[in-house]
Amino acid sequence: MTNADFLSSPFPEPIELPDIDTDGPGRFFNRELSWLSFNWRVLEEAENPRVPLLERLRFLSISAGNLDEFYTVRVAGLRELAIAGNTTPAADGLTPAEQLVLINENARNLLMAQQRVLVALHDAMEVHEISVLRRNELTDEDVAFLEDVFLSQVFAVLSPLAIDPAHPFPFIPNTGYALALQMERTSDKRSLQALLPIPAQIDRFIALPGPGHRFLPLEELLILNIPSLFPGYQLKAHFEFRVLRDSDLEVEEEAEDLVREFEVALKRRKRGEVVRLTHSAGAPETLKAVIMGELGVSEAEVVEVDGMIGLSDLSELVLDDRPDLLWPPFKPRVPERVTDFDGDMLAAIRQKDMLLHHPYETFDMVVRFLQQAARDPKVVAIKQTLYRTSKKSPIVEALCEAAEDGKSVTALVELKARFDEAANIRQSRRLERAGAHVVYGFLDLKTHAKISTVVRREGKTLVTYTHYGTGNYHPITARIYTDVSLFTCDAKLGRDATKVFNYLSGYAPPEGLDNLAISPTTLKPRLLEMIAAEADHARAGEPAVIWAKMNSIIDDEVIDALYAAGQAGVKISLVVRGICGLRPGIKGFSDNIRVKSIVGRFLEHSRIVCFGNGYDLPSKKARVFISSADWMGRNLNRRVETLIEIENATVKAQIVSQVMAANLADVAQSWVMAPDGTFTRPDVPEGTFAFNCHRFFMENPSLSGRGSAGASDVPKLTHTED
């Protein structure tokens, strides 16, 4: 596909895949390999000439950090299953051991590719006077400067350690790295093996004085100063190594105190088993064998890297003072309607429903909604879910302020939000001290729904203002994650939200929901029902279309339902950022299904699904939903999630004709999925206009947020060129 419009172009020609058993496990693509494919796409953005240089470096750092987390969670789990002898196959038919072989091969290739990209980026950075030096490239002036840096900023934090029976092997934490040293005493040539853990409290790259931007990696500074750390010894050989540990959490089913149980589990995580050891080239075999033995890793879990280890630290080199090498500045908009009401969020919502598209419309409006509620004397109650939020969260501040002012505040804090458990424990204790009611939901279900309610006394009635989101209440990540926020004072949506909160605090499953479907009870059945209804339209000879956007789709029942709908004649277009277990475009099987992934300046995160309902899309008759849930087993069966039907005509038009249409029309940031799980970029000739949905959203305000100053029509799918 060249610079064609994905929205209106015909479906790609289906491909025959005789080796794929479409009646068996072969109809699914492996989850883990699909995730690795996504991370390859992230890495390839680091090579994209359309991306500014330091943003390309950021993509390389993200790719490395993603791979670290993948190993500490997903691979760690598969490793446990394989060690236990578990041979239960995944949906695609691969056992844990078989998956590990394919994952390790793919990941090794990815690590090598990251090093190749790093070399190319370093060369490009040199042209712009940004250099990462080795110790043999330092001038005498540099060495003198670094002597002072070492003594004043580094030396006191170091703990050089001998490796011998008198010195127990030190604990290297997850993502921790160290220097392994082979030393020789100058007086009698006696050998010494030693470790120098590299402290995480010090920046990885040390800025050097001089023209341009010059940096020295911390490990290079440490090697320079080995004589002062080990006086009387000569360094014969060394290598750097880095460990990744099992970071999944296990919590006892009958934990009496969930907070205390998670605090104990977090300590266990720090000491999890090592699942991968990466080391620099040139490691002496005897010293390497000692390290491997002490860490308990096999050869299959060890990767030699010819280059720099720990590439996630490269984010330190994304320099704010080089705006010429970064994305052009972008300031999120305040919706016109909110401005028309002098910043009064509740008044803007009272006028009509409003859907904000973050980060293009500022997430500050969500914060303002809660801050205004906290200070409004007519507000009597606030309820809020918190899955992930920032350390100094203005949302938590607003909830505390409201509670201290005597309002009834209920906060559902999810302790099981991976890698945010400790932060959420701190936030929950703070809320409790302020007088809020803090609940933790279910032990066996994560609460992933994004809901806020504000109850305000207006005359003789109580009016509920509700916010439903697709993303976390996290002001920092909301600057780069694309999500949608629905603000409404519709009484039905308010009652539904209240019933969900009662479910979370009292465990009683909600009955009689007017609009909402929730997992793990009604959300998946609602999806399957809607997919089947669209297939019925196709069989009746009516237009039948499904547009959906999500992070991941892996649930086998949903995938099979989509296959069946496609075979009935439903035209299905999926925008899936990450994992996709569905195989599109197989001749005679999934001809009517196409899948694309968008990877660009912003991280696609919103979950949307549109059903033509017997009409072509876009259509006023469409049924349109936003959700907190991806189409994965964990979201549909093991979490509390929401699926909200959009009934307001303006919001519906915004989602279908603006948000989804632009995503489907995107060419510049898109990758199209083939039946074998590979993704390819559309072929865009040099100098040809390529529609970029992120650019379009930055230039065009959301339809439902427009006020008296805005037009009422949906903007055309175009934007200015670079």
Return the minimum-mean-pLDDT range out of 47-56, 186-195, 267-276, 331-340. 267-276
Of 463, 485, 512, which residue is a domain's last?
512
The pLDDT, as a whole number, for residue 234 is 93
441 located within any domain: yes
The pLDDT, as a whole number, for residue 70 is 92
Backbone angles phi, psi at 704, to 5 degrees: -75, -10
309 located within any domain: no
The answer to whether residues 479 and 463 belong to one domain is yes
Average pLDDT over residues 266-295: 83
Q: Tell me how long the chain is.
A: 722
For residue 398, pLDDT over 60 is answered with: yes
The catalytically annotated residue of 279, 357, 448, 719 is: 448
Please write the tens of the pLDDT for every residue from 83-141. Answer: 889 999 999 999 999 999 999 999 999 999 999 999 999 999 999 999 999 999 999 99
The pLDDT, as a whole number, for residue 506 is 83
The pLDDT, as a whole number, for residue 683 is 83
**CB 427 within 8 Å of CB 413:** yes
Question: pLDDT category, 427, cuts 50, 70, 90?
Answer: confident
For residue 493, pLDDT over 50 is answered with: yes
The pLDDT, as a whole number, for residue 710 is 53
462 located within any domain: yes
Please write the tens of the pLDDT for every residue from 507-552. Answer: 788 889 999 999 999 999 999 999 999 999 999 999 999 999 999 9
* Rounded distance between C-alpha atoms, residue 376 and residue 463, angstroms: 13
Number of domains making up the chain: 2
The answer to whether residues 398 and 460 belong to one domain is yes
Average pLDDT over residues 485-492: 96
The answer to whether residues 421 and 474 belong to one domain is yes
Of 512, 535, 567, which residue is a domain's last?
512
Please write the tens of the pLDDT for every residue from 554-596. Answer: 999 999 999 999 999 999 999 999 999 999 999 999 999 999 9
For residue 150, pLDDT over 60 is answered with: yes
The answer to whether residues 613 and 645 belong to one domain is yes
Higher pLDDT, 629 or 249: 629
The pLDDT, as a whole number, for residue 93 is 94
The pLDDT, as a whole number, for residue 576 is 97
The answer to whether residues 571 and 498 belong to one domain is no
Question: pLDDT category, 20, cuts 50, 70, 90?
Answer: confident
What share of the chain has pLDDT > 90, as a percent?
Answer: 75
Catalytic: 357? no
Q: Which residues contact 203 (CB under 8 A, 6 or more apart)?
A: 218, 316
Residue type, 482: T
390 located within any domain: yes
For residue 54, pLDDT over 50 is answered with: yes
The answer to whether residues 533 and 654 belong to one domain is yes
The pLDDT, as a whole number, for residue 678 is 93
Please write the tens of the pLDDT for every residue from 201-220. Answer: 999 999 999 889 999 999 99
The pLDDT, as a whole number, for residue 628 is 96
The pLDDT, as a whole number, for residue 421 is 59
Of 512, 533, 549, which residue is a domain's last?
512
The answer to whether residues 534 and 487 belong to one domain is no
722 located within any domain: no
Structural domain including 666 reads: 518-705
The pLDDT, as a whole number, for residue 390 is 66
Question: pLDDT category, 718, cuts 50, 70, 90?
Answer: confident
70 located within any domain: no
The pLDDT, as a whole number, for residue 414 is 81
Please write the tens of the pLDDT for every residue from 460-483. Answer: 999 999 999 999 988 899 999 999
For residue 392, pLDDT over 50 is answered with: yes
The pLDDT, as a whole number, for residue 169 is 84
Joined together, the tokens standing for residue 504 give 């979370």
Give whole-number Cα distances, 559 to 279, 452, 714, in Å.
40, 31, 32
The pLDDT, as a whole number, for residue 686 is 76
The answer to whether residues 361 and 473 belong to one domain is yes
* Rounded distance between C-alpha atoms, residue 54 and residue 64, angstroms: 15
Q: Which residues contact 571 (CB under 8 A, 6 or more apart)?
A: 11, 544, 545, 546, 592
Give whole-number Cα distances, 586 to 14, 519, 538, in Å.
5, 31, 19
SS3 368: helix
**CB 651 within 8 Å of CB 486:** yes
* Rounded distance between C-alpha atoms, residue 130 and residue 327, angstroms: 17
CATH for 669: 3.30.870.10
Higher pLDDT, 536 or 426: 536
The answer to whether residues 525 and 572 belong to one domain is yes
The answer to whether residues 503 and 522 belong to one domain is no
Return the minimum-mean-pLDDT range out of 6-15, 179-188, 319-328. 6-15
Question: pLDDT category, 444, cuts 50, 70, 90?
Answer: confident
236 located within any domain: no
The answer to whether residues 469 and 483 belong to one domain is yes
Backbone Cα Rg of the chain:
27
255 located within any domain: no
Place of tokens 């691969």: 94
Q: What is the mean pLDDT of the chain?
A: 90
Joined together, the tokens standing for residue 116 give 């190749």
Please write the tens of the pLDDT for every residue from 593-636. Answer: 999 999 999 999 999 999 999 999 988 899 999 999 999 999 99
Place of tokens 């809607």: 530
For residue 44, pLDDT over 80 is answered with: yes
Question: pLDDT category, 653, cuts 50, 70, 90?
Answer: very high
The answer to whether residues 505 and 547 belong to one domain is no
